Structure 1
Amino acid sequence: MSRPGAAEPLPTWFTRAIATTPAHRDVEVDGVRVHYRAWGGTDRPGLVLVHGGAAHSGWWDHVAPLLDTHRVVALDLSGHGDSGWRGSYDMRQWAREVLAVAAAEGLRRPVVIGHSMGGWVALTAGVEHGDDVAGVAVIDSPLDRQPPEEQTLLERPRVHRVYPDVGTAVARFRTLPAQEVYLPYVREHVARGSLRPVEGGWTWKFDPGFLDSRPPVRQLLPDLAAPAALFRCEQGLVTAQMAAEMAALVPDGLPVVALPEAGHHPMLDQPLALVTGVRTLLAVWPA
């Protein structure tokens, strides 16, 4: 575990996971190309991973190969990563993208797990497409407030800065909200995957216009038509009180999986704890 500027050797688990190259595919959803990655045998139960706002599917590159009990798919929501951009965005559209990617991979009733804003997408899928998913889980997705990535980006000009080279851009990469403790090799991997070449250098892949929509999360929870669970990060945004309030809104209850010492972005600082929690949840939920 490190703070900015510290260097660590690459652990074997990480190098093996990153060496497990996913299949890269695209599917058209409502006129826009949606890119996704897929790992694991096609005969296994399905799991769809949904990144947070301003992130991309590569945030799961070191996590997905360790969830090898399932066929794992991680998509780039439209406006993010290597997917196309739309004129406007909303959670229902993104939920349709989740289901379209699952269908393209032949995943029957997958589990959908989303981080931060992606958790809201997962919840929307559980409400709008409850019969088509086996369960939904959210990772530190706050109740009744904008995800931190939206709050921060709304305060910035909606024009990406252009950096002269990849190294400069990677050095400028910051999580939203800022997270001072992380694994530096994971941070560098996701930072490099966040960039695209443009005239004059490199800039971020995401469309700043993705910030225009947020769902009424409090209204989503009582309408969930699929089993649900919450991963609560000890150093994250969802407090114990908020988790209890969220659980009270879900008709069938909301199991809470604690991730000790994890910040808002557990795939950056506590990925193995996250993997253990997800594997445990998948083992107890029916396929």
Structure 2
Amino acid sequence: MAIDPAIKEGAPVGYYDDRPIHTEPGALPPEVQAPLAPFRGREPDSPDWFRNALAQAPERSHVDSLGARIEMLVWGQRGKPGLLLVHGNSAHADWWSFIAPYLAQDFRVASMSLAGMGDSDWRETYAFQDFAADAEAVARAAGLYDAGKPIYIGHSFGGSQVFFAAASHPERMRAAILVDTGFGGPPPDSAEGKRMAERMAEQARNIPTGDRAQRVYPTLEEALSRFRLMPPQAAGNLFIADFIARRSLKPVTGPDGHEGWSWRFDPNMWAKLDRSVMSGLMDGGPPKVDLPLVHIYGDRSAIISRRKEGGASPLPPHTLEIAIPDSAHHIMIDQPLALISALRGLLSVWPGPAAAG
């Protein structure tokens, strides 16, 4: 099966997670570089299943954790088994808003915005151990422990946070599901590894810093036209990409005093991120994880493509892996119903009876 044009044409795709990378104009196909531009600010048509899911609005609130307010969305009745959903980098809790209602029939479901993203507070520094503490705070505030320990589910960078929590604090959860989660980079002597090395300096130009603030767009239409996915890929369902993009933006006042729109995530998040604890955990190969662990991935994903070239798996040997056909990295955009079906089918029999929390 063919991979996405952005990957096939040798464009930079990234491996560790969805870290921002720079691309020159024309380096990516239009459907990858600016998938929403053709709509000129109009919402694409969407199917009934999607509108029905969004009609099941979550309870929205914030939880205090380590001095920061963390955004929390909750669906389902208290007393049911708990699920905690964690999004990817530069994303937000609403990436799960059209998935969670289909899980809430049998579970108490909470989706969180990681610190520095969505409507959660920004921090002076970010660390894996702090993200793990935030996740537990959300899970407890949402009542996910009422029926025993919850299951954590994380996509991409959020999967890295779930994996870290599973390895470091297994007492906090019953099991963990990673959704298209990558660790580390491609082999340095591989074609993709060489391309990434050559572009490291170039990538830095795309990441805002303290003296180069995040851009303010004068109109919502222009902001939406600049939305694209990381790693680069075509958006499988544009109505989902549009929904996510609109909730990735916030109204702001620009340096010139004019009102406009900017992205919700902390533009300096990558410069502030301390990876030392996670790097230490991964030294010497996959860490020991005693919990039941599943990895669901897209069969066209850039994140896991290096393994198709013979790269070693970073996951523990007991990890169950499930491929979603005809999907790249962002499975909830490419194949949302397949992801829902995979999660519901898996959770109906796995990992077994819940234990007391």
Q: TM-score, normalised by structure 2?
A: 0.73
Counterpart position of 2:323: 258
Shift of 1:269: 1.1
Deviates more, 1:168-177 or 1:23-32: 168-177
Distance 1:95 1:42, change over 3 A: same
The one-letter code sitting in structure 1 at the alignment partner of 2:144 is: L
Are 1:185 and 2:243 an aligned pair? Answer: no
2:206 aligned to 132, 153, 156, which one? 156
Q: Distance in 2 between matches of 1:244 and 1:230?
A: 16
Kept in 2, the 8 Å contact 1:170–1:191? The answer is yes
- Structure 1: gaps spanning 5 or more residues: none
Q: Distance in 2 between matches of 1:25 and 1:140?
A: 28
1:57 aligned to 93, 96, 121, which one? 93
Deviates more, 1:237-246 or 1:254-263: 237-246
Q: Distance in 2 between matches of 1:57 and 1:14?
A: 16
| Structure whose alpha-carbon radius of gyration is higher | 2
Please state which structure has a larger fraction of its residues in helix: 1
State the number of aligned residues.
280
Higher RCO structure, 1 or 2 (CA under 8 Å, sep 6+): 2
Shift of 1:133: 0.2
Shift of 1:257: 0.9
Are 1:227 and 2:263 an aligned pair? Answer: no
Over residues 124-156 of structure 1, what are the superposed CA-to-partner deviations in whole Å (9 max), with x where a residue is unaligned? Answer: 11022201101111111112239x9xx897441
Counterpart position of 1:238: 304
Q: Distance in 2 between matches of 1:229 and 1:53?
A: 20
Secondary structure (helix, strand or coil) at the match of 1:261 reads coil
Are 1:79 and 2:116 an aligned pair? Answer: yes
Are 1:34 and 2:70 an aligned pair? Answer: yes
Distance 1:111 1:221, change over 3 A: farther
Q: CA RMSD in A?
A: 2.3
Q: Distance in 2 between matches of 1:154 and 1:51?
A: 23
Shift of 1:70: 1.0
Shift of 1:225: 3.4
Counterpart position of 1:173: 227
Taking the TM superposition and a 5 Å limit, the aligned residue runs for 1:71-220 are 71-108=108-145, 109-145=149-185, 154-158=204-208, 159-199=213-253, 200-211=259-270, 212-214=273-275, 215-216=278-279, 218-219=282-283
Kept in 1, the 8 Å contact 2:44–2:242? The answer is no
Q: TM-score, normalised by structure 1?
A: 0.90
Deviates more, 1:204-213 or 1:109-118: 204-213
**Moved beyond 4 Å, runs of 4+:** 151-155, 240-244
Aligned-pair identity (%): 34
